[in-house]
Structure 1
């Protein structure tokens, strides 16, 4: 069966450094302005890259909205299309202004009467999965559930295992053993904030991911389990950083929405 296409609004949010940030808001089909809806913060990967309409085996805004969620998709620092400085600000500052941009979008839109502020989830892959890990530690109770797909969790062990060394050198500001140690490995490392973790999280990994090895998810999942936090780990055999096989896409979607129904 098909799904109804839904309304999309262009919203401009004030950031913590007094800039305007474009945020796309996607509504469920047959949207009723007199009802309250759960919401999903979508965290874009990259970290550089465009944020647009997605119709993939994973991220599909229309499918998320058709499942009854208002989708909040901020064009945070690093997203292309807003000038070179906006794009470049994220390098060596993964856990800084870009994460504050996400919180600005959530804080602004969660005030709308149609958003149930007690039912906001956070989802994303790659840098978006990293953002979910960071916001688990820095969200301060804003989120009820998280889904992190192929996200970097421990930036030191990621540096030691990724196949794309030029990228990690550029984005982190060099290896973690440099003296002085780049601040990325402390201030922007999700591992640094696990003492604040308490919210349910699902982790999805591709077993053949060499960009962000699936052991990143194993580290995060073990911590969640040891802390007694409701969590689930899905490792997809024979898939890498992207889900490319249709049958695995169906598995991904089924487990994605099953988790949201359980926890949000």
Structure 2
């Protein structure tokens, strides 16, 4: 008897993405993630959004503070326009499939793949021997977050693109190892201005809630006057605006402000 012919599985379009509840949402979180999440929801695509509290514990967390920050992030999602009637919104630790599939993907991913992740090198620095195994292996858990729902597209910033490439490698290896078409090869969605919002004090560094200077970022809880003052004091340069984007190539501070304006104005 001949072997049955396996029909390739097609996957419905499905968006998945998540944010860590590490406290203090910034304009970077809004433009790089939340605003895009709402846009995808409004396009009528199936959207699943996750508060990735299991990722947060790759570094030590105070349990009570983490619970509070998880609630604050959920409020941030909803305030930005995520509608729980149209999108699924949940926190990661409530669904055990994430860590279960994450363990399976730990057996699929290769050490060489993980050791090339630049974000681990950046976060661990010279202290890589003393950071948690979770911080090293968390891209496998991120792959599980995505592939547990067979998500076909993930809105990501430039800094997460490498992790999504790893997700694609894991899906392809799993499918190949077992001769199946079980997981989709997920596509990144990186589009528009403001995908990587930089510090108002240094246009070469990402806007971050961990920066010691509050003047470096716009917090989503800042009032109108505070936001205006921060932009007035933001670092730029004395040159006039060029006629095209190419003229901002070597002007990181000016380029950052133009990108922020473009993203907020949808131009």
TM-score range, shorter chain: 0.3 to 0.5
Pair member with larger Rg = 2
More strand by share: 1
